[in-house]
Structures are given as C-alpha cells and as structure tokens.
Amino acid sequence: MASSFKDFGNPPLTRQREVVLCVIRESEGHLTANEVFAAAKAKLPTISFATVYNSLRYLKDAGHISEVSFGNGASRFDAMTHRHDHALCTDCGALVDIEMELPRELVKRAAEYSRFKPESLEFTLRGKCPDCAGSATPRGPHVVRKYKAKQLSKFDKKYSHRDK
C-alpha cells in the first residue's frame, strides 16, 4: 500500500505507521501509547503494541508528531509539531494546546537564572480545567476530558503579550 502522506526525504509510511499517524491526527486530545494502540487496533486488528510503540518513535523522529512528557512516566503524543505550550488539569489530566509567544525577557531571565544556554522553553500551565474548576468533586484521571486547542483562542487573544 502506497502511503498518502507525502514526506520528502523519508520512505513512504507503512500501513501500520499510517494508521498510527491517522489515529493521532484524528484525535481531539493528546493520546498515550496505550490509547493510540486501542484506537489503532480498532482500525487495524492485526497491529501489535510493539508495532504501535515503534511506529510512534519513528513518526516522532521523522517529525510527523511530537511527544509531550511531564516526567510522570506516561508520554502523550501530539499531532502539532511546531512550538507550542500546554495547559494540564491537575484533577482529570486534560491536556490542552496553547499557542502563544513567550516574552523574550522570560527566556533570557530563565537562561540567566539556570546558567543554561537556551535551546527551547516550554510553558506548562497547571491547574483545573473548566469542567473541574466548576465541580466540587475532583474528577480524577479516570475520566477522560477532551479539549480542542480552538477553545483557547480567546485565552491567546486576551493574555498573550505579542508584539504586533
């Protein structure tokens, strides 16, 4: 099967890799490897977890997807590969893309404070998502909440300090 994804410089994607990529691109959220496997298995019943895991590594290395890791052991995979930030719900685990520019002064101060030579800076806002903030009972990580990046467009316009 010839891949419908154009990728100059890399060979065409295998059917398994194409299915994994489709699962991530069609998702409204940031999926874990287990979630990608479950969705890929529904599309291609013969796919194995090892194939999904290896496909995720390949797709990340080829620049088709990005990996979001917060140090808790479970990486999530994102169809957005350009620089962007995230908001993470501390109750239910919802992860939302935020597209905003960070002030250069923040990057400069972070580099001076850490004495690191900056290569990149990722911003993660941790707090309660709109659903959990309005609830007296924490939803916990067992309840999957999905938010699209579009829902934060008002946040971006209101709070971003872009030079225009």
Q: Which residue has the tokens 């501390």?
A: 90
Domain coverage including residue 104: 82-159
As a whole number of angstroms, the distance between CA 123 and CA 102 comes to 8
CATH of residue 96: 3.30.1490.190
Which one has a higher pLDDT value, 121 or 112? 112
pLDDT value of residue 70:
73
Q: Which residue has the tokens 């994102």?
A: 78
Domain count of the fold of the chain: 2
Mean pLDDT of 29-48: 95
**Which residue, of 77, 93, 119, is where some domain finishes?**
77
Report the interhelical angle of 15-26 vs 33-43 (nearest 10°). Answer: 120
Sign of torsion over alpha carbons 154, 122, 75, 65: positive
In a domain, 2, yes or no: no
> Quick one: 146 and 110 in the same domain?
yes
CATH of residue 60: 1.10.10.10
CA dihedral 33, 39, 44, 45 (to 10 degrees): 90
> Quick one: 105 and 137 in the same domain?
yes
This prediction has a pTM of: 0.69
Segment holding 154, helix H or strand E? helix 153-159
In a domain, 114, yes or no: yes
Q: Amino acid letter at 135?
A: S
Classify strands 85-89 and 95-98 as parallel, antiparallel or unpaired. antiparallel
pLDDT value of residue 73:
66
In a domain, 8, yes or no: no
> Quick one: 145 and 104 in the same domain?
yes
